[in-house]
Amino acid sequence: MSPKVSVPIFQTIYRLGISYTNYRVVLAFSLTLLFLLTINIQTDYYQYPNLYFYSLIAYIGSSIIQNVLLRYFHHGITKQFLALFYIDLIFLSSLSFALGGPNISIGLLFVIAVFAANFLLSKNQALVITLIAVISVIYQQLFGNLFSITTLNNIGNSALLGALFFVFYGIGQVSIQRFQVLESLNTHQSNELFKLQNINRYILEQIEVGYLVLDDHFKIIVINPAACSLLGISALYSHQPFHLMTFQSDLYNMLNTTLISDGHRFQFKSSQSSYTVDVRVQKLIVPHQALTLLILEDAQKLNQKVQQLKLAALGQLSASIAHEIRNPLAAIVQANELSQQSDVEQQHILREMISKQANRIDNIIKDTLDMAKNRKVFSTKINLHLFMHEFLQQDVYDIKDKILLNISDRPNIDFDESQLRQVLINLVRNAIRHNAADAEHIEINIYPKLNFIYIDVVDFGHGIDKSDQSKLFQPFFSTEINGTGLGLYLSHSICEANQAKLIYVEQKKQGACFRIECPIKD
């Protein structure tokens, strides 16, 4: 075993060493029991029965002692492993000698010792053990001659066993290298996972939003310090899987008695905490577990943020309105100053200019008020075939001859009818205004595709420049001098409120296409 082995690999090798010492104890007792049962039956098998028996007794004692030392005395682990195999070789050589020479049974025990040495010792130490094992069996005849043994097995069998030891030494080295690679990879992955867990824990501890994860039995799986603070739970329990009832009985009673669905939101007040907590519920999809995530926030701070956002939006809107009104007001003031020194014809022109700019200011205010109303949506199922017939007759009667309607089947959509009229009026009149002079009509194409109903309003004008496409639905953006820039923005907002989308579709040839995507609902 190399001294540079990492701690996780060393621990694994140590556990293998414990297993090997257990094997030695079992082996010693098993061989002793087998000897006692067969000594009277197979007297010819044991050439030196006394040597065989006392070797077994000595091996039992040494195996038990080494097992205890390895378990409870962790100093010099490498030396203890080395001693294991030296004693094994001495013991197996004694047994082989007592049986009259090497045989297949003792040879297999040698093989096990050689193979195990590759895992518990360094490469060089395992090679030494292998060489000693080879010497023990090949030179058995030399030892036998010293003791006048004339019934030794053929030295070829010994050579075969020696070769087998080297084979298993090689196999053991390949195995230990692969084992070390896999163990290193496993250690690396464990370290990376540990780092990710630490990062996740650090993030949860730093954020101000509270996160509480419960299983289906209301046991706390994860809770961060922010959630502990909001619920009045001591941070001591923030990483321990205890039952919610033990630490926050008010929340437990509410969750246990109320049917809480995914996406549900409610406010919670507990006697344990001074906070009013805004709670959002989210079901987590986790294999083999039903988990619920509660996202907790201080309701007072949340309301403050909402108010700040409203004020910021109001400030932005006010600045935009001021900017849009400034130009027509400047034109009115200038026209009024010029009219005092102009003749009758010029005064008439200037009055028309003042009237036009006043109408422009009125349109800006009207569109802004429409946008600010934020009316509730009352969706109904609309038969587009009937709806479009009424729309052409009632809402765009003056330009209906310039509209070509293509509608497939009789599609139905869920939409607020008055708001759909408002969106289509805006899109149709925009298309008429931007249509090519030589074009006879614009098109309204209504057709189903996948899970949507598409309503395309198409003109054949110059289209929208690519540089302007990203700003189409921003408030107060307009490519027209007299436009307010609120029509498309308002139409886009209405579609979103009705769970639909308003998008611009670039045409391959000339023209522009604004598409309303309405989901098909059962």
Q: For residue range 164-216, what is the model confidence (pLDDT) as tens digits?
A: 666 766 776 777 677 667 777 777 777 888 888 788 777 877 888 888 888 88
Report residue 421 as tokens: 């009229």
Q: Residues of the chain with pLDDT > 70: what percent? A: 79
In degrees, rounded to 5, the angle at the alpha carbon of residue 91 between the alpha carbons of residues 86 and 97 is 125
Is 209 within 8 Å of 225 (Cβ atoms)?
Answer: no
Q: Three-state DSSP class for 153?
A: coil
Q: Label each residue of 454-494 as H, E or C.
A: EEEEEECCCCCCHHHHCCCCCCCCCCCCCCCCCHHHHHHHH
pLDDT for the residue 517: 92
Long-range own/partner contacts, residues 19-26 (CB < 8 A, 24 or more apart): 20/84, 20/116, 20/120, 21/63, 21/66, 21/67, 21/70, 21/84, 22/67, 24/59, 24/63, 24/66, 24/67, 24/84, 24/88, 25/60, 25/63, 25/64, 25/67
Choose which CATH entry (1.10.1040.10, 1.10.287.130, 3.20.20.70, 1.10.1740.10) describes domain 302-373: 1.10.287.130
> Do 208-300 and 302-373 fold alike per CATH?
no
Superfamily in which the 380-519 domain is placed by CATH: Histidine kinase-like ATPase, C-terminal domain (3.30.565.10)
Query: In the chain, how many H helices and how many E strands?
Result: 16, 12
pLDDT for the residue 174: 74
In the chain, what is the straight-line distance between the N-terminal and C-terminal CA atoms, in Å?
70
What is the rounded distance in angstroms from the CA atom of residue 102 to the CA atom of residue 228? 72
The DSSP call for residue 243 is B
Choose which CATH entry (3.30.499.10, 3.40.190.10, 3.40.50.1000, 3.30.450.20) describes domain 208-300: 3.30.450.20
Distance of CA 231 to the CA centre of its chain: 27
pLDDT for the residue 148: 43
Is 278 within 8 Å of 296 (Cβ atoms)?
Answer: yes
Is 130 within 8 Å of 89 (Cβ atoms)?
Answer: no
SS3 content of the chain, % helix, strand, coil (to 5): 60, 15, 25
pLDDT for the residue 152: 42
Q: Which residues of the chain have pLDDT under 50?
A: 1-4, 145-154, 238
pLDDT for the residue 145: 47
Residue position matching structure tokens 């009277």? 40
For residue 219, give every residue at least 6 positions away whose Cβ sits within 8 Å of its Cβ, in sequence order, or none: 241, 242, 243, 244
Beta bridge partners of 286: 289
What is the rounded distance in angstroms from the CA atom of residue 395 to the CA atom of residue 385? 15
Domain boundaries, the chain: 7-187, 208-300, 302-373, 380-519
pLDDT for the residue 149: 45
Read off φ and ψ for residue 5, nearest 5 degrees.
Answer: -65, 135
